[in-house]
């Protein structure tokens, strides 16, 4: 897997998700941007879907083996926080708590646990409630 391309393509998707999230449904650009996002997601899935699904499966095996593994795009956040650029001019990203796919984790029976796919670098985060985030996998 070309990790540089993965990170670049995913950052473009994250920025498009953010741009779409800022638009009102009535905005004339909304439909066009939404179509662009779907095209980016389709290309992303075609190129990286299999490897990401395997990574998600590993995270599920470790944290929530009784939950079904979904397509990688299901683990995208509805909005990404774009942070500062690194020394190579690439942005890093984070997410608010509550983003991603809810899962049931035996170690946290009374807490909301979610898995979310985040770019910059591409990684899977497991969040617990609104207090803890853990990187469960990172693309290498």
SS3 category, 138: strand
Q: Are 99 and 78 in contact (CB under 8 A)?
A: yes
Range of the domain at 115: 3-138
**How many domains does the chain divide into?**
1
Summarised one tens digit per residue, pLDDT across range 34-51 is 999 999 999 999 999 999
Summarised one tens digit per residue, pLDDT across range 88-124 is 888 999 999 999 999 999 888 889 999 999 999 999 9
Tokens of 78: 């509805």
Instruction: Supply the pTM of this predicted model.
Output: 0.93
Q: Are 76 and 113 in contact (CB under 8 A)?
A: no
Strand partners, 13: none
d(CA 59, CA 122): 14
């Amino acid at each position: 897997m070309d990790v540089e391309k993965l990170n670049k393509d995913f950052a473009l998707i994250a920025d498009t998700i953010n741009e779409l999230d800022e638009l009102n449904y009535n905005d004339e650009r909304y439909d066009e941007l939404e179509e662009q996002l779907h095209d980016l997601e389709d290309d992303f899935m075609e190129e990286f879907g299999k490897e990401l699904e395997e990574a998600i499966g590993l995270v599920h095996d470790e944290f929530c083996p009784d939950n079904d593994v979904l397509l990688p795009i299901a683990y995208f956040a509805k909005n990404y926080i774009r942070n500062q650029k690194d020394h190579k001019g690439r942005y890093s990203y984070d997410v608010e708590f509550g983003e991603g796919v809810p899962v049931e984790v035996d170690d946290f029976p009374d807490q909301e646990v979610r898995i979310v796919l985040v770019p910059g670098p591409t990684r899977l985060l497991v969040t617990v409630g609104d207090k803890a985030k853990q990187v469960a996998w990172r693309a290498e």
